[in-house]
Amino acid sequence: MPPSPSPHERRLAAFGPRLRRLIARLYGEARAEALWPRVSDLISIQAAARPAPLAALDLLREADPAWFVSPEMVGYSGYVDRFGGTVAGVAAHVDHLEALGVRYLHLLALLKARAGDSDGGFAIADYLSVEPRLGTMADVERLTERLRAARISLCVDLALNHTADDHEWARRARSGDPRYRDFYHVLTGEQVQAAETHLAQVFPATAPGNFTYVPEMGGWVWTTFYPFQWDLNWANPEVMLAMIDTMLRLANHGVEAFRLDSIAFLWKEVGTDCRNRPHAHDVVRVLRAALDIVAPATLLKAEAIVPTAFVPPYFGVDEGEGFEPECHLVYNNSLMVAGWVALAEQSAALPDAIVRASGGVPRGANWLSYARCHDDIGWGTVLRDLAAIDADPQSRLRAAARFTEGAGESWATGEPFQSDGSVLHGTNGTLASLAGLESATDDAAREMAFRRIALLNALAIASGGLAVTYMGDEAGLLNDHAYRADPDRMHEGRWLHRPAMDWAALDTPAARRITGDLARLRDARIAAGGAGAPAAFDTGHPAVLGLSCGGDRVFLNFSGEPAEVDLPDGWHDRLDDRPLDARPTIAPWRLLWARPA
């Protein structure tokens, strides 16, 4: 009898053909033929190097591929230095994460970043080293052991679109090595002009344009973000090989989820807007197939901050050759933005539309939902959704942005990002400050702010996604205005909402209120058994969003007025455990979590 195949052989037989086919789609059949032995070598090496506890996790999760689509899955995201000081310091605070029920931890700025400004750690100088002041890879392995024991999966950023300009590849390219020059895009002035006419700008105020002239490169390097972030040339298969290898090595260090940073921008085709190109999806599919073979316990998460309609394909699609999976998790950025629009205009119309556009998640996949993160609230992603509701979506969004930046009667304390406020771009501020806690001067105003915070947390939780809390939001941390006086950070407005964790603040009444509300919402979701794609129901009230969660009905009142809604007879309030009238009233900014009797 032939020996039974090893898990690696079994997976290679099952998923290798998909990987091979995708490589051919990207680089052509002839090159795929030549590349395949190198691809299969590097995946076999990393499969053989997979540590036993991770290999065991692979088997468990293969048997239960939707393991993370669960009402229990709430997460946390924060900076290593600002949360724990060092990697070992993060390990010392795992108890805080456990108390929040966290099952997933996204650590920002862990890998070795560029010297000097690094876009908050997103200009990576070495993917396989830890930022030296924070610790070593051995510390990361120890941290992942501690996290695994607590059933918390570590997520790390894989910045695929660009390296830092001091990454070894960039240094070699600059010194004239043709192999590495081909890792980047170098254009002539004329080509830049042709390309720019089709491109938008991510940082129009602090990093205008998409190209940077680099004399040693003898041309313009493609730099979508900051000039020191050099976009990688994915049309060169060497980039793909290097990144597959990097990803698998990190997975073998114990990383259980990769946040695929800025993946919409990966594939460049001059003459297009270079976002969401078909081959960008093929690259993600390649990474997924490699993980399916070597490290199937590992999740891929798409960070595609693009208009709503372009986002679901990052879960994967069937293009005639069977379903080709991409990411297990995808940020529901539009729902986050819609929550802030709803607060500003006291209308549930936009989140209702986004929830209805967010259904249909494939099996073994889920949205990642959130109220705030380390980035700005980028308003433009929902422009088209609003166009279906309003003839002048630009003005309507600008009004929401201005409100969130504190204009007029607003309770919010926020700042425009990459704009002087006259054009629509983004808004910065912490959850608490944008919800009114910073401007509140009395208990009544503070109470309203707490309600708005709970409302946005409820939107993330009751909509069924992997709901992630951004560091400090559980403690109601306010904006960090000190960034303006710090020469290293003053040019980058997003530092407004990246205050260092204030451990003492966890003991304040404000933090107890916010974490208490968060825990009640999470417990309610677990009791309701709600997870997966969000579902909206009609509440009959324009300011009240209805979300089905398991068999429960959750009503979010986005207005400053009481709202009456209808329920069948005999329903109960799940949070307060009391019977409800058939026509209950929801107080201003409150939510009602109703369960059947």
Tokens 């605070």 found at: 93
Catalytic residue among 81, 261, 376, 385: 261
Between residue 290 and residue 349, which ones bind ligand GLC under the rule CB under 6 A?
303
| Alpha carbon 574 to chain centroid, angstroms | 30
| Closer residue to ligand GLC in complex, CB, 109/434 | 109
Interface residue with ligand GLC, options 261, 292, 345, 517 (CB under 6 A): 261
- The candidate with the shortest Cα–Cα distance to 542, out of 529, 555, 525, 553, is 555
Task: Please identify, among the stretches 116-124, 474-482, 513-521, 570-578, the one whose residues bind ligand GLC according to the rule CB under 6 A.
Answer: 116-124
* Cβ 206 to ligand GLC shortest distance, Å: 11
Shortest gap between Cβ of 429 and ligand GLC (angstroms)? Answer: 15
Distance in Å, CB of 120 to ligand GLC, minimum: 5
Nearer to ligand GLC, 104 or 225 (CB): 225
What is the closest distance, in whole angstroms, from the C-beta atom of residue 62 to ligand GLC in the complex? 30
Residues 378, 426: Cα–Cα separation, whole Å: 4
CB of 161 to ligand GLC, least distance (A): 7
Q: How far is the CB of 262 from ligand GLC (least distance, A)?
A: 4
Q: Calculate the CA dihedral of residues 472, 476, 482, 483 and round it to 10 degrees.
A: 50
Inter-axis angle of helices 333-345 and 443-462, nearest 10? 150
Nearest to 112 by CA among 91, 135, 92, 78: 135
Q: How many CB atoms lie within 10 A of CB 113?
A: 23
Which of 282, 303, 326, 352 is labelled catalytic?
Answer: 303
Structure tokens given for 433: 């400050």
Question: Which residue type is seen at 163?
Answer: T
Residues 6+ apart with CB under 8 A from 148: 53, 57, 254
Q: Which stretch binds ligand GLC (CB under 6 A): 17-25, 30-38, 117-125, 564-572?
A: 117-125
Q: What angle do CA 339, 340, 341 make, to 5 degrees?
A: 90
- Catalytic residue flag (residue 576): no
Q: Answer yes or no whether residue 120 interacts with ligand GLC by CB under 6 A.
A: yes
Distance of CA 581 to the CA centre of its chain: 39
CA 352, CA 535: separation in Å to the nearest integer? 9
Residue 180 near ligand GLC by CB under 6 A? no
Q: Which two tokens stand for residue 257?
A: 């989820």
What is the contact mask toward ligand GLC in residues 78 to 97, using x (rule: CB under 6 A)? --------------------
Q: Which stretch binds ligand GLC (CB under 6 A): 98-106, 118-126, 319-327, 393-401?
A: 118-126
| Alpha-carbon span 356 to 208, nearest angstrom | 36
Cβ neighbours for 509, distance < 8 A, ≥ 6 positions apart: none
Report the nearest approach of ligand GLC to the CB of residue 32 (Å).
29
Can you give the three-state secondary structure of 239-279, one letter per residue?
Answer: HHHHHHHHHHHHHHCCCCEEEEECHHHCCCCECECCCCCHH
Binding segment for ligand GLC (CB under 6 A), chosen from 114-122, 169-177, 183-191, 287-295, is 114-122
Interacting residue with ligand GLC among 12, 105, 134, 159 (CB under 6 A)? 159
119 scored as a contact of ligand GLC (CB under 6 A): yes
Half-sphere exposure for 271 (CA within 13 Å, toward CB):
1
227 in contact with ligand GLC (CB under 6 A): no
> Is 417 in contact with 376 (CB distance < 8 Å)?
yes
Q: List, as one string, the DSSP characters of 148-177.
A: HHTT-EEEEEEE-SEEETTSHHHHHHHTT-
Q: CA-CA distance, 326 to 305, in Å (whole number)?
A: 16
Q: Which of 126, 165, 345, 375 is the binder for ligand GLC (CB under 6 A)?
A: 375
Nearer to ligand GLC, 42 or 107 (CB): 107
Q: Which residue has its beta carbon closest to ligand GLC?
A: 122
Q: 10 Å Cβ neighbour count for 356?
A: 12
Sole binder of ligand GLC in the list 86, 262, 418, 548 (CB under 6 A): 262
**Of residues 259 and 452, the one with the C-beta less far from ligand GLC:** 259
Whichever of 434 and 547 has its CB closer to ligand GLC, that residue is 434
Q: With CB under 6 A as the contact rule, which of the stretches 115-123, 138-146, 540-548, 563-571 interacts with ligand GLC?
A: 115-123
- Is 303 a catalytic site residue? yes
Lay out the site mask for ligand GLC across 425-454 (x = CB under 6 A, - = otherwise): ------------------------------
List beta partners, residue 377: 427
- Residues designated as active site: 261, 303
The contact set with ligand GLC (CB under 6 A) reads 119-120, 122, 159, 225, 261-262, 303, 374-375
